[in-house]
Structure 1
Amino acid sequence: MALRFLVVEGNARDAREQHAHTFGMTPSQSYAAVVESLARDAVCDIAFPADEGANLPDPAGLESYDGVFLTGSALHAYHGQPEVTRQIELARAVFRSRTPLFGSCWGLQMGALAAGGDVGPNPVGREVGFARRLTRTDNGASHPLLAGRPAAWDAPAIHLDLVTALPGDITLLAGNAMTPVQAAEIRFDGGVMWGVQYHPEFSLDELAAIIGRRAGMLIGEGFFRDEADHGDFVADLKALHAEPGRRDIAWRFGLDEQVIDEALRLTEIRNFIDAKVRPYRSERGRA
């Protein structure tokens, strides 16, 4: 029997259509493709809680899944609009269903808010391109989410916001100088979430598409000198995606195999499927 996953799209319609225009897929479609590449027996459904009137699974529907993934988003959790509050309520419902839950970036923030934490803008600014020198905590060194990661590593990332107040039952697993909560396990209302503030699901090509359409913002914030500088960065990301052996580009970016090698980049998602989802499925007698 196939593994059944629900991929929850964090973006409103305009943002996901922009992503599809520049990358060819919406974020949730791309995420589902990654999950299905890691679990050949997987089937993914997609939900759009940011859309008013969207059909969302009821408690029985959530319990029918073997795992749920929450994607990133261009929204800001602290604005409190219905597009956000619907997603927090859905995260609470997933916790209550006890279905294994995984969140990337915005997804981790939704899990933290659902469990009683808080989210706000990072006082030291935006983390763009790559989260550098991610470092495991003592708990993270033995946690299955990070199995196979070295003591420090880099990962694709782009976010301004972060978890600013911890929920009551959380285990910090990794952080870095920019963002103290980079990986965590959150327990709430009988359920468990494994989440990361970075984006292991992003290929360099997808990261290039995201950075590519944010030229004005990133130039204004001082990440690039001008449009030419921004364009060169995006072109190099695309070139390294197409030719992972380009040591010249990898050297300029300061990247190693933890980002360039797709199998290593996807470590946390693979670990979630193998160490959390499959045991959960077996316990429920679905093997």
Structure 2
Amino acid sequence: MSLRLLVVASETPKQRDARRKSVGQSSDETYADTLRALDPSCDVELVSCVDGDKGFSLDELAGFSGIIFAGSPIQMQEKTSETRSAAAFMREVFEAGTPSFGSCAGLQIATVAAGGTCKARDDGMQAGFSRGIVATPEGRTHPMLNGRPLSWTAPAIHSSVVDRLPPSATVLARTNDTPVEALEIRSGSGVFWGVQYHPEIAIGEIAASLRRQSDELVEEGLAADPGAVDAYSRVLETLDADPERRDLAWQIGLDDEVLAVEKRTRELRNFLSYLHERAVA
């Protein structure tokens, strides 16, 4: 059975255009292409939850097989028209009962919509990769993380984290400096699976994002100067083009959990499998 999927953007029009200039696509467009590559039979629609794009009634939201929230620079700890709009959209998704998934900002939008809170990350920006992710006891048996090893690395770029969980949440994975790397939220009639990292993006897009935020990385002390950011980004781009460059992978500490598409996208693949199983149940 073909899945009907809705990808939700939380980038503003200006942010979407900036990302298109950097990597050729906005975050939701990247997500849509990743989903189509994982399941060529799926039908994907796009909508924004922050810029006044067309909305959907509860019945229309319930008609989708799954709803996926893409990442963005939105800061859910701030009180803005965008954050209020995003949380309101997610509450409607919960009410509609359609299973949902989110990466990075998507996880934080769902957290706030269900009654939790977010905050700025204590250690500043996480840029490039989240390393040493481990599943909680609940996560070790959760279908979203099926196939992940005891510890793994994943693409990640974010400056805020979940601070207080909603009452309906279960933490599925964490790192030493990010207390919620993966979770499940049950709210209303809906269930949400989310990760703080980015299983949907290739490391070439991480390279472009680092370049786009080069000045901020220098200010935070993560790079000595823009040239250092560019040099690291060039290594990532080379690896993206040739994942068999084991010498480069060794130098920056990456393995197949990042470099192999079928492993990097594991949470998304597991979510799509869940949707297919639900469709035929």
TM interval, shorter chain, is over 0.9
Give the C-alpha shift of residue 279 in structure 1: 2.3
Q: Distance between the aligned counterparts of 1:28 and 1:223, measured in 2? A: 27
SS at match of 1:99: coil
Q: Please tell me whether the aligned partners of residues 118 and 164 of structure 2 are also in contact (alpha carbons under 8 angstroms).
A: yes
Find the counterpart in structure 1 of residue 27 from structure 2: 27
Q: 1:134-283, aligned counterparts within 5 Å?
A: 134-275=133-274, 277-283=275-281
SS at match of 1:178: coil
Find the counterpart in structure 1 of residue 89 from structure 2: 90
Q: Distance between the aligned counterparts of 2:58 and 2:280, measured in 1? A: 20
Give the C-alpha shift of residue 250 in structure 1: 0.5
Find the counterpart in structure 2 of residue 10 from structure 1: 10
Find the counterpart in structure 1 of residue 44 from structure 2: 44
Find the counterpart in structure 2 of residue 71 from structure 1: 70
Q: Distance between the aligned counterparts of 1:173 and 1:75, measured in 2? A: 23
Q: Distance between the aligned counterparts of 2:43 and 2:226, measured in 1? A: 41
Q: Please tell me whether the aligned partners of residues 124 and 220 of structure 2 are also in contact (alpha carbons under 8 angstroms).
A: no
Give the C-alpha shift of residue 2 in structure 1: 2.6
Give the C-alpha shift of residue 41 in structure 1: 1.2
Q: Distance between the aligned counterparts of 1:95 and 1:206, measured in 2? A: 30
Deviation string for 1:190-209 (max 9, x for gaps)? 21000000001110111111
Q: Please tell me whether the aligned partners of residues 185 and 192 of structure 2 are also in contact (alpha carbons under 8 angstroms).
A: yes
Partner AA of 2:9 in structure 1: E
Q: Distance between the aligned counterparts of 2:224 and 2:181, measured in 1? A: 28
The 4+ residue runs of structure 1 with deviation greater than 6 A are: none
Q: Which runs of 5+ in 1 are unaligned?
A: none
In the superposition, the TM-score normalised over structure 1's length comes to 0.96
Give the C-alpha shift of residue 26 in structure 1: 1.1
Q: Which runs of 5+ in 2 are unaligned?
A: none
Q: Distance between the aligned counterparts of 2:228 and 2:259, measured in 1? A: 22
RMSD: 0.9
Q: Please tell me whether the aligned partners of residues 127 and 178 of structure 1 are also in contact (alpha carbons under 8 angstroms).
A: no
Give the C-alpha shift of residue 168 in structure 1: 0.2
Q: Distance between the aligned counterparts of 1:153 and 1:45, measured in 2? A: 31
Q: Distance between the aligned counterparts of 2:17 and 2:278, measured in 1? A: 34
Q: Distance between the aligned counterparts of 1:152 and 1:221, measured in 2? A: 27
In the superposition, the TM-score normalised over structure 2's length comes to 0.98
Q: Distance between the aligned counterparts of 2:219 and 2:148, measured in 1? A: 34
Partner AA of 2:11 in structure 1: N
Q: Distance between the aligned counterparts of 2:263 and 2:94, measured in 1? A: 28
Deviation string for 1:239-272 (max 9, x for gaps)? 1000101112101110111001111000000000
Q: Distance between the aligned counterparts of 2:2 and 2:20, measured in 1? A: 27
SS at match of 2:129: strand
Give the C-alpha shift of residue 228 in structure 1: 1.2
Q: Distance between the aligned counterparts of 2:146 and 2:106, measured in 1? A: 21
Partner AA of 2:190 in structure 1: G
SS at match of 1:192: strand
Give the C-alpha shift of residue 280 in structure 1: 2.4
Q: Please tell me whether the aligned partners of residues 9 and 28 of structure 1 are also in contact (alpha carbons under 8 angstroms).
A: yes
Find the counterpart in structure 2 of residue 131 from structure 1: 130
